[in-house]
Amino acid sequence: MTTTSFPADTPLYPQEWVERYTEAGYWTADTFAELSEVSATRFGDLEAVVGDDCHGRRRRWTYRELNEQVGRLAAALTSAGVNRGDRVLVQLPNTVDFVRVLLGVFRIGAIPVLCLPAHGRADIAHFLRMSGARAHVVPVTHAGVDYPALSAGAIADVHGPGATADDAATPADDADRPFTLVAGPADDITGDAVSLDALVDGSQDDPFPPPCPDVAPTDLGLLQLSGGTTGASKLIPRTHAAYHYSIRASAEICGTGPGTRMLVVLPAGHNFTLSSPGILGILWSGGTLVFCPDPTPSTALGLVEQERITLTALVPPLVNAWLAALPRIDRDISSLQTLQVGGAPLTETTARRIQPELGVRLQQVFGMAEGLVCYTREDDDEETVLTTQGRPISPADEIEVRDEDGELLPVGAVGALWTRGPYTVWGYVGGVDRDSFDSRGFYRTGDLVRLRQDGAVMVTGRVKDQINRAGEKISPTEVENVILTHPAVRDVAVVPVTDDRLGERIVAFVIPNPSAGAGAGAGDSSGTDSGRALETELRRYLIDRGLARHAVPDVIHTGAEFPLTGVGKLSRRDLRERLSRYFQSQRPETGK
């Protein structure tokens, strides 16, 4: 019996579309409850998972051994009172424990809510409210954070003495109070948290629960989180059938199978890492997952060499870090065949460096936790791979490019991306943010794109990132792409800052290339002779390259690093706030 309620108005799929996608063969009878057992039958003694557990012990599990671990974990969850339909917040770092917990939750028919290690107390409290979660699975510690204390605080915020019925998905009483399960050394666990290992040990004599037979393919399978860069994250309801189709199609396009060895660098709970083809696609197709405990180039490149990695996925800032690090790190990465890049737009300048400098094939990936995923293909020509984000994975994916009034735009025009398809959701949990979905089931992604005649998508930016300078609309991405061609620039981000006269002014935050040209050097050089020299040089360069004068940045600010999100992507919101504070203190001239 499920002890917590769940928003009844969470939209899944209308029956008409369930029938359409099932009859077309996109949706099958497969569910994630069966994944570990099915893969153990298919791949047996092939190596499935390699990495540290939450104790810091190195583990290597075959598919058969992984299925046994999942069975034990499922029995432990059942003994703790987690049942079919319960929501379980999973907040674990890149360890083998992430896989056994995720698949164990699936096995008993419960619903994982995929959190990131970077989520803090307020985030977790929000997810508890939205999901009505029964449990929260955390490590003892990671990156200096005491996760049992974080979990206890979030639970108290929602179900503690000061909480009201409005704070939680259900009334705040003891029967509905979530509990914390901790993966890691039991001696280090404090408070009311329960040791996951102790539960596993205590249920050793219990028979492993079989994959939950009551899970239907069209049932809710997992909950993911929206990016949350402009506000509180929303919960995204993914069904077994739709998400399973996405990972199967992704694995087929990417050619994964026995022999594929994927290094998991990005946070395991992120949609890109999980399903493109990611953790689930690799486990479905018989490859090996190698978990990278931290994303630093020295650690990641060392594992590529040590484990003979063939595939990995990075966000653009990490690509730039690899490119900068590889010449000074003596590692043999010749086994690496494919580098997937996604999560944020990859500039053409960086894309052109990947094969010559890293010696790997680039695959661009563009997608979102709400659904649509695009890939460049192995047989695409070079320009398509370097300048587009590929084509959708399904022939049933529908894409519309619309203007600000919602009118369809012709092929080649830049506009807002709307999409519908067999793995794209029809709404968020609780029906929030209904304006992002129209009555026909199309989802407004928030991306600005240009669609080529062959169906390839070119992402030009985000609708909310557009800069409105004195009535002129400027795409930050287009300005960034020109700045990045200058040899003195290692990386750049262009953001708006509020201005009384212009409405918004354009600010380019430049990270200089230490080995090249004017202004090179570490740290903040704005206002110094080198910083002013680089600013003057870049203004002249942008005009010479044909950039419209109104698009030339009003301010060019130099610094050592960008603020990043928990996934390692640029946080434009944090950068805007940082620059706004700086300008308020400095009150610089506009420069035009």
Distance in angstroms (rounded) separating the CA atoms of residues 143 and 296 = 13
Q: pLDDT category, 577, cuts 50, 70, 90?
A: confident
**What kind of architecture, by CATH, is found in domain 467-517+527-584?**
2-Layer Sandwich (3.30)
173: its two tokens = 């009483």
Query: In the chain, what's the furthest Cα-to-Cα distance?
Result: 75
Neighbours of 528 (CB within 10 A): 14
131-156 burial, b for 16+ CB within 10 Å, e for fewer?
A: bbbbbbbbbbbbeeebbbbbbbbbbe
Distance in angstroms (rounded) separating the CA atoms of residues 547 and 545 = 6
CB 215 within 8 A of CB 359: no
| Alpha carbon 494 to chain centroid, angstroms | 22
CB 95 within 8 A of CB 267: no
Sign of the alpha-carbon torsion through 149, 82, 566, 426: negative
Q: pLDDT category, 83, cuts 50, 70, 90?
A: very high
Q: Which of 160, 110, 106 is nearest to 2 (CA)?
A: 110
CB 301 within 8 A of CB 329: yes
| Residue pLDDT, tens place only, 394-447 | 999 999 999 988 999 999 999 999 999 999 999 999 988 999 999 999 999 999
What is the chain's Cα-based Rg? 24
Over pLDDT 70: what percentage of the chain?
Answer: 92
| Residue pLDDT, tens place only, 266-323 | 999 999 999 999 999 999 999 999 999 999 999 999 999 999 999 999 999 899 999 9
Q: Does domain 63-215 sit in CATH 3.10.290.10? A: no
| 340 compared with 590, residue with greater pLDDT | 340
303: its two tokens = 């594992």
| 220 compared with 530, residue with greater pLDDT | 220
Q: Which of 316, 314, 307, 261 is nearest to 283 (CA)?
A: 261
Neighbours of 205 (CB within 10 A): 6
| Alpha carbon 218 to chain centroid, angstroms | 24
Q: Which residue has the tokens 């650690």?
A: 299
Phi-psi region of 286 (alpha: psi -120 to 50; beta: other; left: phi over 0): left
Helix (H) / strand (E) containing 288 = strand 288-291
Cα–Cα distance list, 169 to 86, 173, 197, 428, 435 (Å)? 13, 11, 29, 15, 23
| Residue pLDDT, tens place only, 150-175 | 999 999 999 987 665 555 444 445 66
Task: Say whether 292-462 and 63-215 share the same fold.
Answer: yes
Mean of the per-residue pLDDT values for the chain? Answer: 90
| Alpha carbon 454 to chain centroid, angstroms | 27
Instruction: Kindly list the domain boundaries of the chain, sorted by start residue.
Output: 63-215, 292-462, 467-517+527-584
Say if residue 277 is preceded by a cis peptide, omega within 30 of 0.
Answer: yes
pLDDT surpassing 50 at residue 98: yes
Cα–Cα distance list, 267 to 7, 128, 462 (Å)? 28, 20, 23
3-state secondary structure of 504: strand
| Residue pLDDT, tens place only, 335-376 | 999 999 998 889 898 999 999 999 999 999 999 999 999 999
Query: DSSP alpha helices (H): ranges in 453-528?
Result: 476-483
Neighbours of 527 (CB within 10 A): 13
Q: pLDDT category, 516, cuts 50, 70, 90?
A: low
CB 390 within 8 A of CB 373: no
pLDDT score at 160: 81
Q: Which of 499, 502, 500, 481 is nearest to 491 (CA)?
A: 481
112: its two tokens = 């994982």
Helix axes 63-79, 96-107, angle to 10 degrees: 60
DSSP 373: E
pLDDT score at 170: 43
DSSP 127-191: HHHHHT-SEEEEESEETTEEHHHHHHHHHHHHHSTT--TTTSSS--SGGG--EEEEES-GGG--T
pLDDT surpassing 50 at residue 1: no
| Residue pLDDT, tens place only, 537-554 | 999 999 888 887 888 999
| 8 compared with 511, residue with greater pLDDT | 511
Q: Which residue has the tokens 């990972």?
A: 247
Q: Which residue has the tokens 């000074």?
A: 328
Q: Which amino acid is at 285?
A: S
Provide the β-strand partners of residue 137: 90, 181
For residues 482-509, give the mean pLDDT.
89
Distance in angstroms (rounded) separating the CA atoms of residues 141 and 413 = 49
Task: Look at 43-52, 193-202, 419-428 and tell me which has the smallest mean pLDDT.
Answer: 193-202
3-state secondary structure of 42: helix
pLDDT score at 166: 54
Over pLDDT 90: what percentage of the chain?
Answer: 72
244: its two tokens = 């399973």
Q: Which CATH superfamily is domain 292-462 in?
A: ANL, N-terminal domain (3.40.50.12780)
Distance in angstroms (rounded) separating the CA atoms of residues 418 and 401 = 6
Distance in angstroms (rounded) separating the CA atoms of residues 115 and 4 = 19
Pairing relationship of beta strands 373-375 and 391-392 according to DSSP bridges: antiparallel
Cα–Cα distance list, 132 to 112, 159, 165, 170, 171 (Å)? 12, 11, 12, 7, 10
Q: What is the pTM of this model?
A: 0.85
